[in-house]
Structure 1
Amino acid sequence: MEIETTTAANGTQGDNFKSSVLSSVDIIVIVLYFIVTLAVGLWASRSSSRRSVKGYFLAGRSMSWLPVGASLFASNIGTGHFIGLAGTGAANGIAIGSFEWIAPYLILLLGWVFLPVYVSCGVYTMPEYLRKRYGGQRLRIAMSVISMMLYVLTKIAVDIYAGALFIQLALGINMYLAIVSLLVVASVYTILGGLKAVIYTDTMQTVVMLIGGVLVMAMSFAKIGGYNVLEERYMNAIPKTTIDSWGTSNSTTCGVPRADSFHIFRDAVDSDLPWPGMLSGIFLLGTWYWCTDQVIVQRALASNSIQHAKGGCVLAGFLKLIPMYIIVMTGMVSRVLFPDEVACVEPSECERVCQNPEGCSNIAYPKLVLEVLPTGLRGIMVAAMLSALMSSLTSIFSSTSTIFTLDIWTRIRKTATEKEQLIVGKITVVLLVAISILWIPILLTSAGGQLFIYLQGIQSALGPPIFAIYFYGILFPRINEKGAFWGLIVGFSGGIIRLILDFSHKAPPCGDDEYRPAILFKINYLYVSSIVFAASTIVIFTVSYLTAPPKEKELYGTTWKTIHKRMAESHGRKPSLEERVVVEPSENVEPESNEMVEKKEEDINNDYRAETDQSKPSEYHLSDLYEDEGYAFWLNAIAISLIIITTFLMGYYG
């Protein structure tokens, strides 16, 4: 095929990409995309409740299952996924897709286990839940700072790098101008409309991403002769430099596809994704991400009922089955079509091809878009990539501003009015844009190798301790604030040490002798997540059982066990004050005067009277937790079918 002969022989890779100028039709498609995106965002912002904290940060809790599910998926599948997953698929095969196929189990865990507790507490942010569950301020503030740091260093950093790489290669324009423009547009409707604008644009962008991804997949597979020949052709997709070296009696395997490229479950010791680490490590990383991450949980909390939240989780779970095909395997097709560029191994050759001596697998997806898609469709896919970047960035801007405003600013300014909180939230978005722009030069010099593995390596070291304090807090009432705090600190410190060792000992080039400490190359990053989680677990339980337990009334409505007491309240009587209020730990609650108690009782009575008005259900009664039995049956049945399908796919490709 003609496209298979396309190499870097005609000049530098940069010159090749700049020659792939988008046509006027492509430009029109991209411009129309921006216009429609802004229109949808502005429309949603005009209809959203921007004058209240609940309306701005949780979309007034008025969203149905469809936009919630689409937003969950779009918030996760960013430009980093398109470039990172396709790149690692091109380099190592389908195993990286296990991150996508384990996700449906974890998304269901969010809807059926974690979310009812969050709704019961009436929280806006994840650190706020920690405050209500454990009491005190240090854990909530520590988590707020850690979360914002992780957002800047991983989410924003990875998305901007991936977006910068794609735009530079695809459009051939000044990268800084392109990124600044995208960040400005992304921040405009986040600032104007809050979460509701983000969720509606996420829904639109999900459609664009799926259509564009399917188009690239279909046309790429057509170029190689279909899905049935992928394995044979991929296993023979070897760069010319490696083949030439064989003629000199060099038996190098550098650049040769892995023998287990088409297997998900790989050797437990020597593989890139050992199967025990995959099952345990991805479970820990994924549950931290899907069940405790502010960006994700905020979308589910915006649902108008627990049933719509569960429906959104089911939809997102089904959508997560798709990236294995439209991203991972499509990246493998890119290696088949462009082995000399995508699979390059010689540092000097990789430097010439993509200005990165570590490897060029990250160009797998942009290469397909530029050289496989025809005019017009190329513009649609560029728009899809831009939509992925926009979706991810706007989600992060919205969620991070929520954390800063409600968890940090309100501690600095305890008398802050609701209007002030809204202003601070919008200013936070502007500051995040500025930080992101300043971070671009650092990203261009530090990001190398396989983007998705880089991201997961960081998260495997830092995510499990965070997951531990939420997981044990929800399921084990005996865990207290002291145990959770020190478990977080010890686990997080261990993860930081691992990252410092990783970044200070660069992996040797392929074929060179290993010189790093054995702890780095013998212990896979997925095993690190299990080790860090185990360390946090030991500290959490040891400290908790050596110190005073929380009082039962302080746990009311904040654990899986105690929310069922609230859900069991009868509709025919007025619950007592003790039954109706989530009492935070007494060591951090100021004594109340008789007047304060009487006023609280009066407020509760007023809320209870409001419950009799069906048009205005009270938040105190947690009506969001009550489910229609008929809908619940079908939701559970569909969720079980999702589990069966996912398990079948994992076994089929195992």
Structure 2
Amino acid sequence: MESENLSRVENILKNGGLSTPDIVIVVIYFLALIGVGFLASRATRRGSVSGFFLASRNMNWMLVGGSLFSSNVGSEHLIGLAGSGAASGIAIATYEMNAIFILMLLGWFFVPVYLASGIYTMPEYLRLRFGGQRIRTVLSIFTLFLYIFTKISGEEGLYISIIVLLLLAGCFSIGGGLTAVIWTDFFQTILMVCGAFIVMSFAMVEVGGYDAMLTKYAVAEADAEYSAFYQVNGTNKSCKPIQDDFMHMLRSADAPGEDLPWTGLFTGMLIGSVWYWCTDQVIVQRTLSAKNLTHAKGGVLLAGILKFLPLFLLVIPGMAARVLYRNEIGCSDPTACQKICQSESGCTDIAFVLLVLDLLPSGLRGLIMAVMMAAIMSSLTSVFNSASTIFTIDIWTRFRLKATDTEKLIVGRSFVVVLIAVSIAWIPIIVNYKQSQLFHYVQAVSNFLCPPITAIFLLGLFWPRLNEQGAFWSLIIGFAVGIVRFGLQFGYKGPACGSGLQDTRPEFVIATVDRFHYLHFGAFSFLLVGVISTIISLLTEPIPQARLYRLTYWTRFSKEIREELEDDNTDFNIQPETRLEPSESSLTIWRRILNCICGLNQVFLSRSWNNPLFII
């Protein structure tokens, strides 16, 4: 009886499941993925620090580019971009277009310096650039927390399903290291692009083509029983209307929080993109694994080409979904939305899933479900490997100054287990706080917390006068300001649109959250940190030029011997390419199995830490 009272779409969402052919396809996908990961992990030196954390620096441009794209396109893209397209049109695609240019910045300005310096992690670069350990430690801890709030919590789904994917992703990261992660990323990039193209094709055929979609989208308002309204000068306005400029990428400067003002595109969005693509460990680690600078640049170019696709494969199908399911996806009445998708704030994020469940035949539906799992898996494996790298290289060695390579490898893999546990515990919390548009949630949190990092990396790369005191204290102030804004955003919840309830939030909260767009806040935070770091650096002693060789853009070609900072030798006591053959006779059978899985039966010690890997 209950199903008889549901609409066709509501019945699909409630009872739509995978048929036997779908399940077979998903199983085949997982078996193929496990096979690719296993073969890749067996072909690399998993028992060395370089092999586990940087894939022995032996990846070609195609693998690097595919991994960059796959690491970026998680469920916040498959679900979030389609949902934002359904809600407001193509403006959200400016993030994808913007990334194309920022990727060139990564390949031609940042990567040459990173490779010349011979680093493993971004916090390690800051230690070499500025000296001391406090800025490195602060950034390491902050980055790990940021991964929980954005990258891992962005992978939303059914609780049991996401736990299974977390565990499987953890197994790949633990057993195979970065090599297995990059190879599976490449495999999943092919699957994601093909799968999204299939969904787009079915959606466009169903709506009658591109021109028909534009005509129908302009009038795809939800019916009154699915809508909430508010009054403006005595006139009822829908809480989720179709905007007149839905095909414009540049929106009004006073656009609301879930839209993108044009002023934010050239400020906060640009700043956030530089952080993500040029200074975030997950992305940069892929380029550091390249065979050389040429392969790193080739990978960046491939990723830039692939970034043209999300507009056509995700955003436009999301708009088609709004046309096909205008009441369900366009609902704004909290009661109706709760009935449809169990979210009072809106149901736009079901756009992609609904297209899959309703339009695709059995078999293809399973393929696209495998695509969605691939998106989540690739993001999770990338984050797990990068987070374990940061924890091992930048945090663990602060407490264990003489840690052996074997110890670092065990610690890195163990930290993945800890991260899985924390991620599972965080899932129900973050689901309760998320807004209706998942992609906006991720971008908002990033713009609260990441602009200070962008400012310090840009100044550190291009302005040799920036010193440790200026970088450290400006970072602390910038993080503090961002955390305050984060707390105001998620600590105070305003009434739902159309509810008729009075907004009881303090006036300063309304002014800070509702009237200060997160992209504009990102620009403010960036400028604040830039000004503070500049003033403090000019008032304190500069870093000697002899300590900056191959650490700034202007000295990337230098062949001079860089003077060591006071603590350059305190972290690692690694000798160049030494191979240890530990005795197996004294080990138990379980320890031998563990060593085999983790690649610890032969331990290779990586290069000398103080010498650059190569001169560019």
TM-score (norm 2): 0.89
Compare 381-390 and 179-188 and name the one that shifted more. Answer: 179-188
The one of 195, 200, 219 equivalent to 1:236 is 219
Task: Work out the CA distance in 2 between the residues paired with 1:33 and 1:64.
Answer: 24
Question: Match for residue 465 of structure 2?
Answer: 478
What CA distance in whole angstroms lies between the structure 2 residues aligned with 1:372 and 1:353? Answer: 18
Q: Which residue of 2 aligns with 1:334?
A: 321
Q: Secondary structure at the match of 1:158?
A: coil
Any idea what the Cα deviations from partners look like across 1:541-569, whole Å, max 9, x if unmatched?
A: 00000000000111111001111223xxx
Residues 93 and 261 in structure 1, CA contact (< 8 A), matched pair in contact too: yes
Residue pairs, 1:126-525, within 5 angstroms: 126-159=122-155, 161=156, 164=157, 168=158, 175-176=159-160, 178-241=161-224, 251-271=236-256, 272-511=259-498, 517-525=510-518
Distance 1:444 1:34 in 2: 26
User: Deviation at 1:508?
Assistant: 3.6
After superposition, the C-alpha distances for 1:353-387 in whole angstroms (9 at most, x for unaligned) are 11111111111111111101111111111000000
Describe the SS at the equivalent of 2:153: helix
**CA separation in 1, counterparts of 2:10 and 2:383?**
31
SS in 2 for 1:304: coil
Counterparts of 1:2-21 in structure 2, within 5 Å, are 10=6, 16-21=12-17
Match of 1:585 in 2: 565
Tell whether the 8 Å contact from 1:234 to 1:336 is kept in structure 2 after alignment: yes
* Aligned-partner Cα distance in 2 for 1:236–1:507: 29
Deviations 1:245-303 (A, max 9, x none): 99x99632333201111100111124521111112111100000000000000000000
> Contact between 1:75 and 1:395, CA under 8 Å: does it hold in 2?
yes
Aligned to 1:104: 100
Could you tell me which of 523, 532, 547 is aligned with 2:525?
532
Which amino acid is 1:558 matched to? L
3-state DSSP class of the match of 1:328? helix
Task: Say whether the 8 Å CA contact 2:116–2:556 is kept in structure 1.
Answer: yes
Which of 37, 41, 50 is matched with 1:41 structurally? 37
CA distance in 1, matches of 2:13, 2:314: 21
Evaluate the alpha carbon distance shift between residue 243 and residue 401 of structure 1 in structure 2; reply closer, same or farther with a 3 A threshold. Answer: closer
Distance 1:245 1:479, change over 3 A: closer
Over 3 Å counting, the alpha-carbon distance change for 1:134 and 1:8 in structure 2 is farther
Q: Return closer, same or farther for 1:484/1:251 CA change in 2, 3 Å cut-off.
A: same
Q: Is residue 556 from structure 1 mapped to residue 544 from structure 2 by the alignment? A: no
Of 90, 97, 111, 1:115 maps to: 111
Looking at structure 2, the residues matched to 363 and 386 of structure 1 have their Cα atoms a distance apart, in angstroms, of 15
Residues in 1 aligned to 2:133 and 2:98: alpha-carbon distance in whole angstroms: 34
CA deviation profile, 1:217-250 (whole Å, cap 9, x unmatched)? 011011001112222111111111269899x996
Shift of 1:88: 1.2
- One-letter code of the match for 1:206? T
CA distance in 1, matches of 2:611, 2:489: 50
* Corresponding residue for residue 27 of structure 1: 23
Contact 1:73 1:206 in 2 (8 A): yes
Task: Describe the superposition over 1:566-601 as per-residue Cα deviations: whole angstroms up to 9, x where unpaired.
Answer: 3xxxxxxxxxxxx24x33435x4689xxxxxxx99x
Contact 2:568 2:610 in 1 (8 A): no
Secondary structure at the residue paired with 1:491? helix
| Cα pair distance change 1:497/1:443, threshold 3 Å | closer
Classify 1:618/1:183 alpha carbon distance in 2 versus 1 (closer, same or farther; 3 Å).
Answer: closer
| Maintained 8 Å contact 2:66/2:189 | yes
Q: Name the SS for the 1:459 alignment partner.
A: helix
Contact 2:227 2:239 in 1 (8 A): no
Look up the SS of the partner of 1:452 in the other structure. helix
Q: Partner letter of residue 228 of structure 1?
A: D
Q: CA deviation at 1:325?
A: 1.1
Aligned to 1:172: none
Q: What's the offset of the Cα at 1:624?
A: 5.2
Instruction: Please name the residue that 2:540 is paired with.
Output: 547
Residue 506 of structure 1 aligns to a residue whose secondary structure is coil
Give the corresponding residue for 2:587: none
Once the two structures are TM-superposed, the CA of residue 440 in structure 1 deviates from its matched residue by 2.1
Give the Å deviation of 1:12: 9.8
* Distance in structure 1 (CA, Å) of the matches to 2:292 and 2:529: 34
Shift of 1:334: 0.7
Contact 1:13 1:352 in 2 (8 A): no
Unaligned 5+ runs, structure 1: 1-6, 169-174, 567-578, 592-598, 605-616, 627-654
CA positional deviation for 1:127: 0.3
Q: Secondary structure at the match of 2:243?
A: coil
Query: Could you tell me how far 1:506 is from its partner in structure 2?
Result: 2.2
- Aligned-residue offset at 1:123: 0.4
Distance in 1 (CA, whole Å) between partners of 2:342 and 2:5 is: 15
Q: Counterparts of 2:493 and 2:14 in 1: how far apart (Å)?
A: 32
Secondary structure at 1:564's aligned position in 2?
coil
Is the 2:121–2:390 contact (alpha carbons within 8 Å) kept by the matching residues of 1? yes
Change (3 A) 1:467 1:157: same
Whole-angstrom distance in 1 between the partners of 2:385 and 2:101: 26
Q: Is the 8 A contact 1:10 1:16 kept in 2?
A: no
CA distance in 2, matches of 1:433, 1:93: 35
Q: Which amino acid aligns with 2:268?
A: G
* 1:236 aligned partner, one-letter code: V
SS in structure 2 of the partner of residue 530 of structure 1: helix
Matched-pair contact (CA < 8 Å) for 1:191–1:429: yes
Deviation at 1:505, TM superposition (A): 2.9
Instruction: Name the counterpart of 2:600.
Output: none
Q: Quote the residue 1:61 is aligned against.
A: 57
Distance 1:87 1:507, change over 3 A: farther
- Asked if the contact 1:84–1:452 (Cα under 8 Å) also holds between the matched residues in 2, the reply is yes
Q: 1:12–1:353: 8 Å Cα contact kept in structure 2? A: no
SS at match of 2:351: helix
Q: CA deviation at 1:474?
A: 0.6
Q: C-alpha offsets along residues 137-178 of structure 1, whole Å, 9 cap, x if unaligned?
A: 00000000000000011111111x2xx1xxx4xxxxxx42x2
**Any conservation in 1 of the 2:184–2:378 contact (CA below 8 Å)?**
yes
Do the aligned partners of 1:135 and 1:584 also contact (CA within 8 Å) in 2? Answer: no
Structure 1 distance, partners of 2:478, 2:227, is: 48
* Separation in structure 1 between the aligned mates of residue 217 and residue 10 of structure 2, nearest angstrom: 25
Identity level (%)? 43
Q: Deviations over 1:467-496 (max 9, x none)?
A: 111110010000000000011111111111
- Which whole-Å CA distance do the structure 2 matches of 1:142 and 1:346 have between them? 43
Structure 2 residue runs without a partner (length 5+): 578-606
The letter for the 2-side match of 1:358 is: S
Q: Which amino acid aligns with 1:539?
A: I
Corresponding residue for 1:74? 70
- Among residues 80, 85, 88, which one is paired with 1:84 in the alignment? 80
